[in-house]
């Protein structure tokens, strides 16, 4: 049996740079795993027939059948490695769902890491990531974790210096917008991204800052293109960002296509008082910190 952490991800930089013929979008994103996490327990016993059983605690609304990304990850792993057996998965959910924090992708990635370890590593990490990409765009990043510059539709990952330590407050309130709707709005605004986007130096500026440990300087280069369309219809986003800003966040932003937001803080006291203020306004809020890569 293995217990894996499935850490939430935030996007410190997220730009859309193209649209493929199949409708998928090319992105450039600096992604970061944070200490807010689900706990994923996985057990595997070889058997003649395959069965997958998933239980959850912490969020009753989550599907526990083949609609669950963690369930599908187990199925994909067994198919790819030609194994048969009984898989038991227990998800202890803490990451808010459908919030732009990649909770489902993190759980799926944790199942892939756990099953690979329980089966004595039949797949390399690259093979695990290729398998993960067939489950969702954020899964390859969630397999490795840490800090990464992500490109393509999520499958291309470049090493990135570790995010300098700081305090992060992640918060979420209200309904999320659908990610396809948000991409549709951007398609309209940017004429379907037919013109290739000009090279953008911001991720490299973030890299340079982090290499010298200059977190605060790097914050001026953070960006999320979805902030141009989501806050207009999801009013909680700007309301929660304002609470973070008035609690002295160095930077407050939306993550992914929202509605979760995060604030970067230099000191724990400010982060904790921001968290209290957010909870006082009916938001789910967590103080956390950046995490490094998983040991693989």
For residue 246, the minimal CB distance to ligand ATP (Å) is 26
Per CB under 6 A, which region of 61-69, 190-198, 209-217, 269-277 contacts ligand ATP? 61-69
Residue 103 dihedral angles phi and psi, to the nearest 5°: -60, -45
**Interface with ligand ATP (CB under 6 A), residue from 15, 68, 116, 224:** 68
Q: Do 81 and 121 form a contact (C-beta atoms < 8 A)?
A: no
For the bound state, the minimum distance from the C-beta of residue 42 to ligand ATP, rounded and expressed in Å, comes to 13
Q: Give percent helix, percent strand, percent coil of the chain, each to the nearest 5.
A: 35, 30, 35
Task: Supply the minimum distance, in Å, between the C-beta of residue 78 and ligand ATP.
Answer: 18
Q: Which of 9, 76, 93, 241 is catalytic?
A: 9
Q: How far is the CB of 148 from ligand ATP (least distance, A)?
A: 15
Pairing of the two strands 223-224 and 2-19: parallel
Burial 189-207 (b: 16+ CB within 10 A, else e): ebeebeeeeeeeebbeebb
Does 287 bind ligand ATP (CB under 6 A)? Our answer is no
Tell me 161's DSSP state: P
Give the chain's largest Cα–Cα span: 59
From the CB of 211, what's the least distance to ligand ATP, in Å? 27
Contact pattern from residue 255 through residue 274 relative to ligand ATP, giving x for each residue in contact according to CB under 6 A and a dash for the rest: -x------------------
Q: Which of 26, 138, 236, 270 is catalytic?
A: 138
Binding flags for ligand ATP, 74-113, as an x/- string (CB under 6 A) = -----------------x-----xxxxxxxxx-x------
Helix/strand/coil for 31: strand
161 vs 66: CA distance, rounded Å = 36
169, 279 contact by CB (below 8 A): no
Query: Which of 63, 180, 184, 292 contacts ligand ATP by CB under 6 A?
Result: 63
Q: Does 218 bind ligand ATP (CB under 6 A)?
A: no
Decide if 9 is catalytic: yes
Select from 49, 54, 114 the least CA-distant residue to 83.
Answer: 49
Mark whether 236 is an active-site residue. no
Comparing CB distances to ligand ATP, the nearer of 38 and 270 is 38
**CB 96 to ligand ATP: min, Å:** 7
Locate all alpha helices (DSSP H) within the chain, ordered by sequence.
Answer: 69-81, 103-118, 125-133, 139-144, 179-189, 202-211, 215-218, 236-246, 268-280
Binding window for ligand ATP (CB under 6 A); candidates: 60-68, 78-86, 225-233, 286-294: 60-68
Interface with ligand ATP (CB under 6 A), residue total 20
Is 23 exposed, middle or buried, given 0-12, 13-18 or 19+ CB atoms closer than 10 A?
exposed
CB atoms within 10 A of CB 272: 15
> Between the CA atoms of 246, 15, 234 and 163, what dihedral angle is there, to the nearest 10 degrees?
-40
Closest-approach residue to ligand ATP (CB)? 104
**Is residue 148 within the footprint of ligand ATP (CB under 6 A)?**
no
Residues forming contacts to ligand ATP in the complex (CB under 6 A) are: 62-63, 67-70, 91, 97-105, 107, 138, 179, 256
Where in the sequence numbering do the catalytic residues fall?
Answer: 9, 138
């Amino acid at each position: 049996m293995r217990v894996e952490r499935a850490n939430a991800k935030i996007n410190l930089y997220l730009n859309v740079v193209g649209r493929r013929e199949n409708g998928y979008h090319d992105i450039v994103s600096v992604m970061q795993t944070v200490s807010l996490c689900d706990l994923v327990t996985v057990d595997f016993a070889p058997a003649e027939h395959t069965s997958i059983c998933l239980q959850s605690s912490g969020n009753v609304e989550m599907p526990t059948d083949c609609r669950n990304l963690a369930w599908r990850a187990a199925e994909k792993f067994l198919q790819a490695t030609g194994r048969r057996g009984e898989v038991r998965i227990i998800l202890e959910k803490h990451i808010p769902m459908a919030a732009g924090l990649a909770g489902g992708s993190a759980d799926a990635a944790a199942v892939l890491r756990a099953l690979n370890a329980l089966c004595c590593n039949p797949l390399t990490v690259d093979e695990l990531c290729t398998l993960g990409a067939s489950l969702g765009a954020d899964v390859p990043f969630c397999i490795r974790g840490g800090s990464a510059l992500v490109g393509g539709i999520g499958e291309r990952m470049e090493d990135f210096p570790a995010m300098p330590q700081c305090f992060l407050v992640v918060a979420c309130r209200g309904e999320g917008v659908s990610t396809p709707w948000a991409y549709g709005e951007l398609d309209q605004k940017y004429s379907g991204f037919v013109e290739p986007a000009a090279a953008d130096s911001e991720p490299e500026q973030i890299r340079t800052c982090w290499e010298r440990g200059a977190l605060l300087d790097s914050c001026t280069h953070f960006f999320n293109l979805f902030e141009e369309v989501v806050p207009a219809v999801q009013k909680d986003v700007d309301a929660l960002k304002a609470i973070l800003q008035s609690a002295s966040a160095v930077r407050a932003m939306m993550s992914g296509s929202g509605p979760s937001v995060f604030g970067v803080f230099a000191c724990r006291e400010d982060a904790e008082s921001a968290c209290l203020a957010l909870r006082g306004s009916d938001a789910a809020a967590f103080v956390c910190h950046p995490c490094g890569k998983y040991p693989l």
